Amino acid sequence: MKVVKFGGSSLSCAEQLAKVFQIVVSDPERKAVVVSAPGKRDAEDTKVTDLLIECAASYLQGKEDNEAFEAIVGRYESIAKELQLPREVVEGIRASLLQLLNSDRSNPQKYMDAVKASGEDNNAKLIAAYFQFKGVEASYVNPKDAGLLVTDEPGNAQPLPETYESLYRLREHAGIVIFPGFFGFNEEGEIVTFSRSGSDITGSILASGMRADVYENFTDVDAVYSVNPNIIRQPKEIIEITYREMRELSYAGFSVFHDEALMPAFRAGIPVNVKNTNQPDKPGTMIVKERKLTNGPVIGIASDDGFSSIYVSKYLLNREIGFGRRLLNILEDFHLSFEHMPSGIDDISIILRQQQLSESVEEQIVQRIKEELHADDVKVQRDLALIMMVGEGMRETVGTAARASTALARAGVNIEMINQGSSEVSMMFGVKAGDERKAVQAMYEEFFAGVTV
Amino acid sequence: MKVVKFGGSSLSCAEQLAKVFQIVVSDPERKAVVVSAPGKRDAEDTKVTDLLIECAASYLQGKEDNEAFEAIVGRYESIAKELQLPREVVEGIRASLLQLLNSDRSNPQKYMDAVKASGEDNNAKLIAAYFQFKGVEASYVNPKDAGLLVTDEPGNAQPLPETYESLYRLREHAGIVIFPGFFGFNEEGEIVTFSRSGSDITGSILASGMRADVYENFTDVDAVYSVNPNIIRQPKEIIEITYREMRELSYAGFSVFHDEALMPAFRAGIPVNVKNTNQPDKPGTMIVKERKLTNGPVIGIASDDGFSSIYVSKYLLNREIGFGRRLLNILEDFHLSFEHMPSGIDDISIILRQQQLSESVEEQIVQRIKEELHADDVKVQRDLALIMMVGEGMRETVGTAARASTALARAGVNIEMINQGSSEVSMMFGVKAGDERKAVQAMYEEFFAGVTV
């Protein structure tokens, strides 16, 4: 049994919905379908979710926003028309949305969440109607009725444990389940939305609750790439990757989707198949618990810039018990999370995301480190990029670090930092942001030229 | 003007003292001579300092130790005889030592320090007598009269700031200053000794206070080697090395002497010349503030085993502000100092010296990390070796990490950890203790074969 999820771009227009229908009915295993709100039809288009936010914002300021309202309903209308669905479908959507917009606004956050969630909710209703219209047994299921209970954190809801047991019952549901993504209900029965890529989260939770054999995540790419396509033209596609590898790759700004969205599926050990709605016959990428190490030691290379390092040196630092801890204490006072902490004998460097480090925060921190820790020297280096090399094979293969650093040397890239030794599946290199592309290209050249991943 | 220091092996017998005399008088710049107590004449021999400790221990238990006492005086006697010094010299030593041993023992620590210090003090008196006997203007100077004031920490005294100004006056001293190493006086006028290699410390303090042009440190090796001679036969000798490089090399169990002993000279920017008493014409090693980068990027390779790593993994660890700090807090509760802290996305490893980590401490720490930090996994790996590659040239040279890791790969050594990015002059590799020799040999092969350092 499969749980299938379609993103906004896969549901942007009638033509796409027709594809989705074909995909679902072509495989009787596809039992539950999680849908997003209609996405962009082209680059200039606006997502329904964004229109809803705009509309809700106006209503919260006490003014109606007919333009946005009509634009939203219009999107569903055009789809319904093209699919020749009965008028009632759109009438229902129009009525319920209007009612929602005019509902209690005493809690703006809750109000906003409810309006945003309607994008998916109404789309699910429309799609269910479409399936029925095509003579397939399918029905819209409301997350509340299904028992998708979540914590009361608007925009960052977490599923409650009992949710999974409740969702298991959906296996007994007659016909195909059409399920809206992006939100659940708190214990008071109020709508609460997930974080970004919320539909991925819903799909992942559903797959886990229903104990699906596979969670199919349909997007608009053929597969997860071994490297950022903006850096390498037509990079190798990854056929099979482990959860761990996926997680480490997702870290450094590299991902088709937010890896945390997949955690419920990962935790339940359910394979995730990333596929392309427009190329459903392609195998896509399979994200699994374990894989055989067929290809080279490295499966992917990710990179991200926007890091800074704070260098602290003090004579006999390594004798001073508690120095590192007191240093981290200071960062914590500014609510800074650090990424890495390479250290020499009389020095420690702290690598952290630059956006956390405003000029003024930087000043205060440097000040405090000098005064409280009596450091001999404190320097801040900005604009670093981290390059992450990932692969389950690395820890068994002698010489991976050598190949990588040799490739960087060949490309004339100076290595500012190497961090290896904790993670078994990744190795990290710090370079100047200006060298990021060059560095990634050199490593890709070294590990992927000729190798099929 | 030069301050010269001779170690115990350079002062173990009359023959050695004759060499010392020749060395000192051969250069009129050699103004002050810091001496240790007579050291071993051969492998089976006992250092005078050790005999003194033995003797003092007995006296503290209320029993005289004539054997040890005679052995001590005997050492000075045999030297004095061979050098044909007047009987009074040894008589004086005998009398003063006897008086010292029978002095107030109410404070055992202070008593022990005073008895230990007499080894250097009496040797300085004997050597001064010898120089005078040879018709050279030289005299014993007592650290108290010279104003060598130190903190009241027996066995770990630190010089007080005013000391340096007082010692400057020694420049005006008539003739050569013969100065006992290893101890100073606290503000109450009591003897307090320095930590190990105490004579090196005295020499370093004297060089700094007297603003010497060079501090000559005479030992029994021709030079500082680029790598441990027990691992590489006849390794390259280092002609010139910077303070920073020396310090980093000294870290990983690598050193002719305790680098901290040289700090007063380093701080004052005084070059330190390590020379061999038995080969005084050899240039030895010059330790300087800055050097020209003539040879390759690497000047030395040091290694040390006996490290453990504590691996901690937890999902979303890198989002948890304060995780690293709380982890270090736990270590601190056990008074553990850590060496390095490589980190992945969901994991942190802590590298620390193994001897700190008893089975029971390990158990408790693992327990607490699991319970208090809710870690998913905590693993301890023992018997790691750290290999430190040092050189001022490294930061300007692209590809040093590549050469090193390639050399290790060629030797079939698996790299457990790489720590680079904080120190500008060193790079650290972690390997299994069993691979230490192989790893150091491979790196030496790579960076020194053919290059003269």
Query: In CATH, what number is assigned to the domain containing residue B56?
Result: 3.40.1160.10
Is beta strand B214-219 parallel, antiparallel or unpaired with respect to A183-185?
unpaired
Among B220, B237, B255, residue at a domain's last position: B220
Given a contact cutoff of 8 angstroms between Cβ atoms, the answer to whether B55 and B72 are in contact is yes
B331-356: per-residue pLDDT in tens?
999 998 888 888 888 889 999 999 98
Edge-to-edge strands, sheet with B214-219? B138-140, B176-180, B30-35, B2-6, B214-219, B272-276, B285-288, B240-242
| HSE-up (13 A, CA, CB side) for residue A272 | 37
A248, A336, A342: residue with CB nearest B422:
A342
pLDDT band at B317 (very low <50, low <70, confident <90, very high): confident
Residue in B with minimal Cα distance to A250: B345
pLDDT, position A452: 39
Q: Are residues A210 and A318 in the same domain?
A: no
CA pair distance B419, B438, nearest whole angstrom: 19
A331-365: per-residue pLDDT in tens?
999 998 888 888 888 889 999 999 989 999 999 99
A314 within a domain of the structure (yes/no): yes
B253 vs B423, residue with greater confidence: B423
Q: Summarize the confidence of residues B368-388 as an average pLDDT.
A: 94
Q: Are residues A313 and A212 in the same domain?
A: no
pLDDT, position B2: 98
Contacts of A427 in chain B (CB under 8 A): 418
Query: Which range has highest mean pLDDT (B230-239, B256-265, B293-302)?
Result: B230-239
- The predicted complex's ipTM stands at 0.76
Contacts of B321 in chain A (CB under 8 A): 332, 335-337
Q: Are residues B58 and B200 in the same domain?
A: yes
pLDDT band at A451 (very low <50, low <70, confident <90, very high): very low
pLDDT, position B26: 97
Measured in whole angstroms, the distance separating CA A111 from the mean position of its chain's CA atoms is 25
Q: Are residues B180 and B81 in the same domain?
A: yes
pLDDT, position B384: 95
Contact B408/A423, CB-based, under 8 Å?
Answer: no
Contacts of A330 in chain B (CB under 8 A): none
A284 within a domain of the structure (yes/no): no
pLDDT band at A250 (very low <50, low <70, confident <90, very high): confident
pLDDT, position A412: 94
Given a contact cutoff of 8 angstroms between Cβ atoms, the answer to whether B302 and B226 are in contact is no
B406 within a domain of the structure (yes/no): yes
Contact A409/B419, CB-based, under 8 Å?
Answer: no
Q: Looking at the predicted structure, is the pLDDT value of residue B61 above 90?
A: yes
Measured in whole angstroms, the distance separating CA A183 from the mean position of its chain's CA atoms is 15
Q: What is the residue range of B347's domain?
A: 300-448
Measured in whole angstroms, the distance separating CA A169 from the mean position of its chain's CA atoms is 27
The percentage of residues in chain A with a pLDDT greater than 90, rounded to a whole number, is 77
A:309-348 residues touching chain B, CB 8 A cutoff: 309, 311, 315-316, 318-322, 324-325, 328-329, 331-332, 335-348
pLDDT, position A423: 81
Optimal mutation site among A422, A432, A443, interface B, most CBs of chain B within 10 A: A422
Phi first, then psi: give them for residue B84, nearest 5 degrees. Answer: 55, 40
Q: Is the pTM of this model over 0.90?
A: no
| HSE-up (13 A, CA, CB side) for residue B113 | 24
Angle at A436 between CA A433 and CA A441, to 5 degrees: 170
Q: Are residues B315 and B425 in the same domain?
A: yes
Q: Are residues A197 and A324 in the same domain?
A: no
Q: Are residues B197 and B308 in the same domain?
A: no
Residue in A with minimal Cα distance to B266: A315
CA pair distance B11, B75, nearest whole angstrom: 11
CB neighbour list of residue B148: distance below 8 Å, 6 or more residues apart: B159, B163, B166, B167, B184, B185, B202, B205
Contacts of A339 in chain B (CB under 8 A): 318, 343
CA distance B367 to chain A (A): 20
User: Which run of H or of E encompasses A165?
Assistant: helix A162-168
Alpha helices per DSSP H over B83-214: 87-101, 108-133, 143-146, 162-168, 198-209
Q: Are residues B202 and B71 in the same domain?
A: yes
Q: Looking at the predicted structure, is the pLDDT value of residue B107 above 60?
A: yes
The rounded mean pLDDT for chain B is 92
B325, B346, B422: residue with CB nearest A311:
B422
Q: Looking at the predicted structure, is the pLDDT value of residue A421 above 60?
A: yes
pLDDT band at B247 (very low <50, low <70, confident <90, very high): confident
Specify the CATH number for the domain of residue B356: 3.30.2130.10
Q: Summarize the confidence of residues A187-201 as an average pLDDT.
A: 91
Contacts of B446 in chain A (CB under 8 A): none
Q: Summarize the confidence of residues B295-299 as an average pLDDT.
A: 84
Residue in A with minimal Cα distance to B409: A399
DSSP state of B318: G
pLDDT, position B244: 87
pLDDT, position A252: 61
A316 within a domain of the structure (yes/no): yes
Count CB-CB contacts under 10 A for residue A410.
14
A120-167: per-residue pLDDT in tens?
999 999 999 999 999 999 999 999 999 999 999 998 899 999 999 999
pLDDT, position A343: 85
B247, B332, B351: residue with CB nearest A345:
B247
The CA R_g of chain B, rounded to the nearest whole Å, is: 25
pLDDT, position A337: 86
Q: Are residues B82 and B213 in the same domain?
A: yes
pLDDT, position B452: 39
Q: Looking at the predicted structure, is the pLDDT value of residue A189 above 60?
A: yes
Would you put residue B54 in left (φ > 0), alpha (ψ -120 to 50) or beta?
alpha
Our count of domains for chain A comes to: 2
CA distance A342 to chain B (A): 6
Q: Looking at the predicted structure, is the pLDDT value of residue B259 above 80?
A: no
CA pair distance A278, A20, nearest whole angstrom: 9
Looking up tokens 């970004």, which residue turns up? Answer: A196
Given a contact cutoff of 8 angstroms between Cβ atoms, the answer to whether A319 and B337 are in contact is yes
Among B220, B251, B286, residue at a domain's last position: B220
Contacts of A243 in chain B (CB under 8 A): none
Among B188, B204, B220, residue at a domain's last position: B220
Residue in A with minimal Cα distance to B380: A422
Contacts of A422 in chain B (CB under 8 A): 311, 342-344, 347-349
A73 vs A356, residue with greater confidence: A73
Contact B337/A344, CB-based, under 8 Å?
Answer: no
Q: Looking at the predicted structure, is the pLDDT value of residue B451 above 50?
A: no
Is any Cβ of chain A less than 8 angstroms from the Cβ of B156? no
Q: Looking at the predicted structure, is the pLDDT value of residue A327 above 90?
A: yes
Is any Cβ of chain A less than 8 angstroms from the Cβ of B422? yes
Is any Cβ of chain A less than 8 angstroms from the Cβ of B263? yes
Three-state DSSP at B321 gives: coil
Q: What residues form DSSP beta bridges with B310? A: B350, B380
Phi first, then psi: give them for residue B215, nearest 5 degrees. Answer: -110, 110
A431 vs B250, residue with greater confidence: A431
A336 within a domain of the structure (yes/no): yes
pLDDT band at B397 (very low <50, low <70, confident <90, very high): confident
Q: Looking at the predicted structure, is the pLDDT value of residue A453 above 50?
A: no
Question: Where is the binding site for substrate, in residues of A?
Answer: 49, 120
Phi first, then psi: give them for residue A25, nearest 5 degrees. Answer: -75, -20
Contacts of A341 in chain B (CB under 8 A): 324, 341, 343
Residue in B with minimal Cα distance to A249: B345
Q: Looking at the predicted structure, is the pLDDT value of residue A253 above 70?
A: no
Q: Summarize the confidence of residues B203-215 as an average pLDDT.
A: 97
B165 within a domain of the structure (yes/no): yes
CA pair distance B21, B29, nearest whole angstrom: 14
The percentage of residues in chain A with a pLDDT greater than 70, rounded to a whole number, is 97
Contact A349/B422, CB-based, under 8 Å?
Answer: yes
DSSP state of B41: S
Q: Summarize the confidence of residues B63-82 as an average pLDDT.
A: 95
Count CB-CB contacts under 10 A for residue B161.
7
B235 within a domain of the structure (yes/no): no
Given a contact cutoff of 8 angstroms between Cβ atoms, the answer to whether A260 and A249 are in contact is no
B132 within a domain of the structure (yes/no): yes
pLDDT band at B257 (very low <50, low <70, confident <90, very high): low
